[in-house]
């Protein structure tokens, strides 16, 4: 392989699939056992600067070949590939969420990074931190929580009114998002499974499945877009129309 050659690797977050890349620069070196006793026979390292032929994003590719990588059926070496920034078909891209406050944006980025690094318990804590940060940013310190029995049925007072209590924990804040008019009731209800998932991860050290966590991230991203991006983009659209008039 040489500079100018074209290869197919998983693309950047913008492409999020295997795309054609061009080798921009390359350095290759072979390490042998006589010089490096820790190596069984030899190991060849290749380092490349590559550029996506689609979005033109540059990245770094590292390849390692050794006798351990030999495929007897195909009778060829299968090099071990590492891409920087790290990416693969199962990785989640960062979504564009306009209007997001810097602190929440930082936590969101770190949460996606922990998911892509397969740190699922820490990622779950990040999802919960985003939810708490949203409540704090909107000044929601609690809410009115319905009192239910073990079967989840709303309890009723003797006068026929629903039994309720005010709490300042995350459950109360989620109800508060609806009671303050920030989210619709149905949308707010979708956030309770995220709270329960976070409690299990942080208090009981229970690791969620990848599928559970991907769904939780989808929900929290949709929530951030609803609370921040939609009003922000709507205001920008109004401003553009006013400038045109």
How far apart are alpha carbons 227 and 138 in whole angstroms?
A: 10
What are 97-110's pLDDT values in tens digits? 999 999 999 999 99
The number of domains in the chain is 2
In the prediction, which pLDDT does 89 show?
Answer: 67
| Contact by Cβ (8 Å): 68, 78 | no
**Same domain, residue pair 47 and 125:** no
pLDDT class of 1 with cuts at 50, 70, 90: low
- Ranking 121-125, 126-130, 155-159, 229-233 by mean pLDDT, the lowest is 155-159
**Same domain, residue pair 125 and 203:** yes
**Same domain, residue pair 51 and 120:** no
How far apart are alpha carbons 130 and 111 in whole angstroms?
A: 9
**Same domain, residue pair 224 and 146:** yes
- Compare 73 and 3 and report the one with higher pLDDT: 3
**Same domain, residue pair 75 and 44:** yes
Range of the domain at 64: 6-84
| HSE of 189, CA atoms in CB hemisphere, 13 A | 4
Q: Which two tokens mark 157?
A: 């007072």
Q: Is the dihedral of CA 202, 203, 208, 213 positive or negative?
A: negative
DSSP string, 48-110: EEEEETTT--EEEEEEEE-GGGEETTTTEE--EEEEES---TTPPPPP--TT--HHHHHHHHH
How far apart are alpha carbons 193 and 208 in whole angstroms?
A: 12
Most confident of 20-34, 40-54, 88-102, 210-224: 210-224
- How far does the chain reach from its first CA to its final CA, in angstroms? 58
**Same domain, residue pair 50 and 107:** no
**Same domain, residue pair 51 and 137:** no
In a domain, 1, yes or no: no
């Amino acid at each position: 392989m040489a500079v100018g050659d074209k290869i197919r690797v998983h693309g950047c977050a913008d492409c999020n699939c295997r795309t054609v890349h061009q080798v921009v620069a390359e350095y290759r070196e072979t390490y042998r056992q006589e010089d490096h006793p820790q190596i069984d026979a030899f190991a060849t390292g290749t380092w490349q600067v590559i550029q996506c032929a689609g979005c033109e994003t540059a990245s770094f590719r590292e390849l390692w070949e050794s006798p351990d990588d030999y495929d007897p059926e195909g009778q060829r070496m299968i090099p071990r590939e590492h891409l920087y920034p790290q990416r693969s078909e199962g990785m989640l891209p960062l979504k564009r969420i306009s209007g997001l406050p810097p602190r929440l944006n930082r936590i969101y980025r770190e949460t996606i990074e922990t998911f892509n690094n397969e740190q699922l318990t820490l990622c779950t804590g990040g999802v919960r931190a985003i939810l708490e940060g949203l409540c704090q940013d909107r000044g929601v310190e609690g809410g009115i929580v319905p009192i239910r029995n073990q079967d989840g049925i709303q309890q009723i007072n003797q006068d026929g009114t629903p039994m309720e209590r005010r709490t300042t924990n995350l459950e109360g804040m989620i109800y508060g998002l609806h009671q303050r008019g920030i989210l619709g009731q149905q949308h707010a209800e979708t956030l309770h499974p995220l709270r329960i998932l976070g409690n299990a991860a942080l208090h009981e050290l229970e690791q969620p499945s990848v599928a559970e966590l991907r769904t939780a991230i989808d929900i929290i991203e949709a929530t951030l877009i609803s609370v921040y991006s939609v009003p922000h983009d709507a205001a920008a659209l109004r401003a553009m129309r006013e400038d045109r008039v």
